[in-house]
């Protein structure tokens, strides 16, 4: 029993000595009587009530000419309020308006400009969505993409640009056309062929929208009738793109297509005919005619017009050839009937 107890004391003492030796080599002091150990290489670290803290990672710099778009309005340094000409009208009836232009020392997450550059920024409000390929920043004419989609609402565009740049502009590019505003003054600097957006694009007031004519025929009398539900003018549409590279505007009429009925009120069976329509503006300039052959008009008719014109008259000429129910073996032809009743004002 005595030998066993003696061997255990030696073993325990040896293990303690080995631990003390190991910790001594690493610069630590050990109390054999307790269980605490304190590192002399980091004095006081264990004395902190909450233990050691992890240092915050250093904020990165933006890359040269990097562009960021944030979905909130950031308070800018040295800011200037953008004038009303800081708005850009875009296809799809979307308007982006600058609120302020200025500089920033750092982004809200602490990012700073690249070496030798500065952060230029603008806050904006947009009433429609823009895809990731739309927003660019131009530095002395060189374009740098944001590669960020924009949702409707307020936001901030931030770019790291050379401190000695002569011009810095925010550009919005759609369907090959770029419109720009200055990040110095907030004013529009280029609209290219999109000028027609700013010279009267929009909806028209339509007068005498319902057209009806009694038309004598070879064997009966028919009523010819159509109506215009609305009209819009724009230099660009999704289906057609830009009108004559921005030199013209599209005028799009929403129609209830022509209907023919015989005097007895019976619907026509087989219809063949021709419908022709054109616009004449206040200066007497006539658009090209739009024709539909053996079918009636579609629900939309599109014309090319002078983007500066504000008043138009819609003229139509129609004829029809068909079989009349109740009159066997008798074909009836009607027209041509002309009408210039509908007027449009933009």
What is the rounded distance in angstroms from the CA atom of residue 97 to the CA atom of residue 107?
21
- The answer on pLDDT for 312 being more than 90 is yes
* pLDDT, tens digit (0-9, with 9 covering 90-100), for 155-181: 999 999 999 999 999 999 988 889 999
- The answer on pLDDT for 243 being more than 80 is yes
pLDDT on residue 333: 78
- The answer on pLDDT for 99 being more than 60 is yes
What is the rounded distance in angstroms from the CA atom of residue 234 to the CA atom of residue 250?
5
DSSP three-state, residue 22: helix
State the average pLDDT for the chain.
79
- Domain formed by 67-190, architecture: Sandwich (2.60)
In the CATH hierarchy, which top-level class contains the domain 202-345? Answer: mainly beta
Question: CA nearest 184: which of 245, 101, 277, 292?
Answer: 101
pLDDT on residue 328: 59
* pLDDT, tens digit (0-9, with 9 covering 90-100), for 3-58: 333 333 233 334 433 433 333 334 443 333 333 333 334 444 444 444 555 555 55
Q: Note the pTM of the prediction, 2 decimals.
A: 0.64
Instruction: Provide φ and ψ at 159, rounded to 5°.
Output: -140, 140
* pLDDT, tens digit (0-9, with 9 covering 90-100), for 318-342: 888 776 666 656 667 778 889 999 9
Mean pLDDT of 222-244: 87
Mean pLDDT of 176-199: 89
pLDDT-wise least confident of 93-97, 154-158, 222-226:
222-226
- Residues forming beta bridges with residue 223, ordered by sequence position: 214, 261
pLDDT on residue 251: 94
Residue pair 135/145 in contact by the 8 Å Cβ criterion = yes
pLDDT on residue 35: 35
What is the rounded distance in angstroms from the CA atom of residue 80 to the CA atom of residue 193?
28
Cβ partners under 8 Å of residue 146, min gap 6 = 67, 68, 69, 132, 135, 136, 137, 157
């Amino acid at each position: 029993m005595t030998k066993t107890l003696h061997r255990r004391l030696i073993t325990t003492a040896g293990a303690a000595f080995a631990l003390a030796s190991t910790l001594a080599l690493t610069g630590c002091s050990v109390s054999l009587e307790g269980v605490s150990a304190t590192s002399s290489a980091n004095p006081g670290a264990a004395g902190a009530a909450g233990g050691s803290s992890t240092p915050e990672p250093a904020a990165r710099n933006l890359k040269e000419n990097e562009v960021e778009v944030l979905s909130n309005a950031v308070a800018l340094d040295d800011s200037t309020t953008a004038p009303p000409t800081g708005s850009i009208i875009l296809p799809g009836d979307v308007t982006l308006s600058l609120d302020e232009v200025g500089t920033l020392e750092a982004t809200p997450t602490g990012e700073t400009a690249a070496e030798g550059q500065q952060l230029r920024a603008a806050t904006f409000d947009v009433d429609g969505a823009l895809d990731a390929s739309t927003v660019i920043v131009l530095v002395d004419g060189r374009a740098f993409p944001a590669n960020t989609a924009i949702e409707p609402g307020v936001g901030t565009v931030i770019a790291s640009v050379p401190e000695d740049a002569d011009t810095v502009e925010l550009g919005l590019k759609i369907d090959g056309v770029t419109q720009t505003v200055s990040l110095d003054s907030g004013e529009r600097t280029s609209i290219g062929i999109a000028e027609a957006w700013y010279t009267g694009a929009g909806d028209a007031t339509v007068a005498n929208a319902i057209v009806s004519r009694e038309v004598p025929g070879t064997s009966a009398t028919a009523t010819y009738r159509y109506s215009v539900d609305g009209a819009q003018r724009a230099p660009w549409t999704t289906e057609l793109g830009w009108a004559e590279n921005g030199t013209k505007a599209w005028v799009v009429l929403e129609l209830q297509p022509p209907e023919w009925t015989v005097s007895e009120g019976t619907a026509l069976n087989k219809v063949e005919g021709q419908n022709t329509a054109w616009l004449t503006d206040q200066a007497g300039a006539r658009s090209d005619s739009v024709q539909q052959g053996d079918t009636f008009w579609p629900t939309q008719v599109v014309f090319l017009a002078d983007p500066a014109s504000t008043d138009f008259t819609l003229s139509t000429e129609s004829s029809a050839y068909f079989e009349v129910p109740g009159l066997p073996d008798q074909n009836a032809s009607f027209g041509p009937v002309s009408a210039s009743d509908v007027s449009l004002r933009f």
